[in-house]
Chain A
Amino acid sequence: ETGVTQSPTHLIKTRGQQVTLRCSSQSGHNTVSWYQQALGQGPQFIFQYYREEENGRGNFPPRFSGLQFPNYSSELNVNALELDDSALYLCASSPRRNLQSLEQYFGPGTRLTVT
């Protein structure tokens, strides 16, 4: 059984640019959540997708958007990058619609640096 994978591992972008991060969920999982983890901080919930539809969103501006595909893989898109967007971006997949934040399996993350 393949775990959660994310690509790329590391990424360097310039302020104002756009970035797309990718996540492949664990086999059989239909729910994906995205988190932003700044250095020395805990993760912050960005949004969750269940069966290709957004199923909850944290306190992030609209320039953070996402997609979930029929195979339940997911993308996180960030437009107009700001320096404060530099962080580790984590995705987590779950086997069911996750109203209780249970059974989340995390990927290794994408380290984004904005200069």
Chain B
Amino acid sequence: KQEVTQIPAALSVPEGENLVLNCSFTDSAIYNLQWFRQDPGKGLTSLLLIQSSQREQTSGRLNASLDKSSGRSTLYIAASQPGDSATYLCAVSSPDSNYQLIWGAGTKLIIKP
């Protein structure tokens, strides 16, 4: 059964720093992996999608990598800003879950001005 873990549960860094959020999953037979951002009262927003055949995806200051063999993904945020403060969740879709998303519990990120 697929399980997704995100460490740390919370992270606080000064503005301007580069940072890495981690996501691990137990079954490497995934279809895709997605990173989402959750803001209070605003639902979830998809940030990056990595298909199983891809190694990384980039969008602006965000870069997500995928290593299926080790069951890990990282979300790299460059030059962090206070507006990046949110909870970041990763989710995987796999045959094991009938392609529905299995989610991590998220990392709550606080960027200090």
A residues in contact (CB < 8 Å) with B? 4, 40-45, 48, 56, 58, 90, 92, 99-104, 106-109
Contact = CB atoms under 8 A, between A and B. Distances in A.
B4 A109 contact: no
14 contacts: A43-B103, A44-B103, A45-B101, A48-B100, A56-B98, A90-B43, A90-B44, A99-B99, A100-B99, A101-B32, A101-B93, A103-B46, A104-B46, A106-B43
Given A43-B101, A99-B99, A102-B32, 20 more contacts: A4-B43, A41-B105, A42-B89, A42-B103, A42-B106, A43-B44, A43-B89, A56-B100, A58-B100, A90-B44, A100-B31, A100-B99, A101-B34, A101-B100, A103-B46, A104-B46, A106-B43, A106-B44, A108-B42, A109-B43
Interface of B: 4, 31-32, 34, 41-46, 49, 89, 91, 93, 98-101, 103-106
**Chain A interface secondary structure, helix, strand, loop or mixed?**
loop
A45 B93 CA distance: 12
B105 to A, nearest CB: 5
A106 B43 CA distance: 6
A42 B41 CA distance: 15
B3 to A, nearest CB: 11
B105 A42 contact: yes
B72 to A, nearest CB: 17
Contact of B4 (A42, A56, A102): A42
B43 A102 contact: no
Contact of B43 (A44, A45, A101, A107): A107
B49 A102 contact: yes
B89 A101 contact: no
Greatest chain A CB density within 10 A among B42, B43, B89, B106 is at: B43
Contacts of B98: 56
Contacts of B44: 43, 90, 92, 106
Nearest to A3: B43
